[in-house]
Structure 1
């Protein structure tokens, strides 16, 4: 069977169709090869990867973005932010501490806070400079706040005999007692004992986690300790306990006994006296929780019973006539005013602050939490613990 040739009109139609297709193909190719591709601003020319117009992927939302869908995908929006407790990290620091506190922040963020975005309060007796604020705010996943400590919280009270206090410092310097000649250290201990929890910025929170410059967290933290504290009704927690230098607190226990003799109602019936004394309270065994790491209930420290205790100690002048530290004061207050069940030991939080280490004792737990501490360095079972 033979096929005849197509009519002229059909040939013309096919020719026009081919021309139209070629035109569209040419336009499509030109549009695709343009640097500012109107179809996708994120397309990247493989041969022009250095082009300013070349972006490999869409930009993520910034801190100020408000679109919920974008926020969920943004790395600086922690996934568990909606489930946070009313809590904050708190650090007492100087401007010169900026790089050491930067190390601490990275430890805390990488091991825990990147998943939650808790706030961070920084306190200083002098105004924080721009460098400190810029560095720390860039590292913290939550909001950062910077508080200036009022002079009355960082100075000698009116009732302190300056000559007597000076003689104490000179005597301790001669005896080479650690920080014995330091005025600023005494102001710090007094501040941490009676004022940090009353700073205006801290009044916004119920729980705190104290972080010092140049610390390490050796393990991941796979739960929220603030939530644990609230749900388990804990009011004070620690990871390391040590004996205090008795030369720095010769009259602290006697002053404490005087207080509780006058205020027996402030003593918990189920207290931790056995931790503090080996003779039912007659003497102090020097044991204390190392307060450079502590997670606690701010409302305990704001309670009238704690404030009464602090005021009694403050009036006695031991911060300046001796060298009372905030660690034994926090420990004695928690040990005697709280129920035993309200104090918690965080064995699974691996921590280092020069020169002591806490490393979890459970081998399986260390592996699960990706710990990198040496269990032989664990201070828990050493003589000085």
Structure 2
């Protein structure tokens, strides 16, 4: 009897324990479901609080996105990302560290996964979570035009240094490539405050009606050269410049634009000129259809450029000049300071194009030159360029001249006693009005006779155009390096009517390797 009774008692005890365990398990399940519902309500509240909370300059934690996660929109989770965050190559959710790490983890899980205790969730840094990412060299901020190396290393926006994450030594130093690119950029006074420009200016003779053709020239010069160095620009006119001209060109010049009116005594017929004889010459040249043959203003211009532009009130304060005319083009980048180059190499005259002058415009010019050479042998330089001007040791003029609509020179040379004696001698002979002497042959003959030939420089690397001729760098490597836009087939410098090949020969210079392809 004892045995059945004991078995019955044991069954009753086991049944009671089973009922007790089942009841407890049911209560536990209800509690879990209640907690799961309560989390989503609290997570909405957390997102709302995070959206309204002020931003704190702390490094952000990046959490790898889960494709199956139902997440709140980005605008409900955090504020507008910073500049550094927008530039990140790998998109990832970025949550302020003010948000507990466990909420970030839980929010990335599927909803049907059981909720675990927040204390048991360690904050594991994802593979994308880094204090900062070093950008490739090609994405680093380039140095400002003409900027110094120190400037190139400074970002445009500085983060809060106290709250910024600590960078490694590799991240704090710019890449070698970035350093080389930065140091290669020319240093400018405006950017770095240390660059010393040469005492130089651009000089332009123009009138109010030239404003639109002038701004195209200025744009070429500024884009290809002067945006790096900010040299001044002197504009001269035989009349007053109007406000439209001054305001328009001033807006384009990176240096200081200055405007001067030419005195009447520098622009007109001198007292010794027979005006009737001059008028007769103009009529005859018009009948022969000689270019500018009947123009009075063109003759005034040639005389002014020959003897007065360097003595104006605005130009007297400068030593070097670059003459720029309306409607010219620069085809290539100029990656060095040409004025400092002239100064350091002690050049007094530089050109890009040379050619033969129209014989009909200068029938007696060489006679006047020979008279001057006889009267002032002390002014003739030793080892000069007379062999470039003459093919018979000075007996006659071969009409070679530098095209003076582009010239970079030393105005102290034009102001010298030697040149002033030369100009005054020619001016007294009256050829500017009785014929049609141009300033180009006058300048060219003076530079070739009064200067040693090592003082004259050919800028073969400056791509230049003035209707109808082009100087284009001869070698392909130079054109690519200088980003030239000129067609080498248009290069006038090696054509039959150019005097540049003769200049190379007289100077004993080696011609560029590809010159024959453009001859």
- State the TM bucket, normalised to the shorter chain: 0.7 to 0.9
Contact 1:357-1:377 within 8 A present in 2 as well: yes
Deviation at 1:363, TM superposition (A): 1.0
Match of 2:417 among 288, 304, 308: 304
1-structure distance, mates of 2:461, 2:314 = 29
Match of 1:164 among 269, 277, 290: 277
1:191 is matched with: 304
Higher relative contact order (CA 8 A, sep 6+): 1
1:116 is matched with: 229
Change (3 A) 1:133 1:256: same
Contact 2:389-2:397 within 8 A present in 1 as well: yes
Change (3 A) 1:109 1:25: closer
1:319 is matched with: 432
- 3-state DSSP of counterpart to 1:83: coil
Q: Indicate whether 1:218 and 2:343 are aligned.
A: no
2:87 is matched with: none
2-structure distance, mates of 1:310, 1:80 = 41
2:445 is matched with: 332
Contact 1:79-1:115 within 8 A present in 2 as well: no
2-structure distance, mates of 1:171, 1:221 = 44
Match of 2:475 among 357, 362, 378: 362
2-structure distance, mates of 1:135, 1:25 = 50
1:104 is matched with: 217
Change (3 A) 1:80 1:136: farther
Deviation at 1:83, TM superposition (A): 2.5
Deviations 1:24-76 (A, max 9, x none): 996959xxxxxxxxxxxxx9xxxxxxxxxxxxxxxxxxxxxxxxx9xx99x99
Change (3 A) 1:365 1:24: closer
Change (3 A) 1:78 1:257: farther
Larger deviation, residues 280-289 vs 76-85 = 76-85
Contact 1:154-1:191 within 8 A present in 2 as well: yes
Change (3 A) 1:114 1:167: same
1-structure distance, mates of 2:432, 2:218 = 30
Q: Indicate whether 1:86 and 2:215 are aligned.
A: no
2-structure distance, mates of 1:166, 1:81 = 55
Deviation at 1:319, TM superposition (A): 0.3
Deviations 1:3-44 (A, max 9, x none): xxxxxxxxxxxxxxxxxxx99996959xxxxxxxxxxxxx9x
- 3-state DSSP of counterpart to 1:115: coil
Match of 2:314 among 181, 192, 201: 201
Contact 1:81-1:117 within 8 A present in 2 as well: no
Q: Indicate whether 1:257 and 2:347 are aligned.
A: no
TM-score when scaled to structure 2? Answer: 0.60
Change (3 A) 1:188 1:99: same
Deviations 1:194-241 (A, max 9, x none): 000000100110100000101010000011111110111100010000
- 3-state DSSP of counterpart to 1:295: strand
Deviation at 1:81, TM superposition (A): 7.6
Deviations 1:214-272 (A, max 9, x none): 10100000111111101111000100001000100000001010011000000011110
Deviations 1:81-105 (A, max 9, x none): 8331000000000100001010000
Contact 2:216-2:328 within 8 A present in 1 as well: yes
Contact 2:189-2:195 within 8 A present in 1 as well: no
1:236 is matched with: 349
Change (3 A) 1:24 1:316: same
2-structure distance, mates of 1:327, 1:80 = 38
Contact 2:357-2:400 within 8 A present in 1 as well: yes
1-structure distance, mates of 2:50, 2:474 = 71
Deviation at 1:172, TM superposition (A): 0.4
Contact 1:220-1:370 within 8 A present in 2 as well: yes
- 3-state DSSP of counterpart to 1:300: helix
Contact 1:78-1:115 within 8 A present in 2 as well: no
Contact 2:332-2:484 within 8 A present in 1 as well: yes
1:19 is matched with: none
Q: Indicate whether 1:382 and 2:480 are aligned.
A: no
Q: Indicate whether 1:227 and 2:372 are aligned.
A: no
2-structure distance, mates of 1:324, 1:83 = 39
**Unaligned segments of structure 1, at least 5 residues:** 1-21, 30-42, 44-68
TM-score when scaled to structure 1? Answer: 0.81
Match of 1:279 among 388, 392, 414: 392
The list of structure 1 runs, each at least 4 consecutive aligned residues, that deviate by more than 4 angstroms after superposition, is 22-29, 78-81
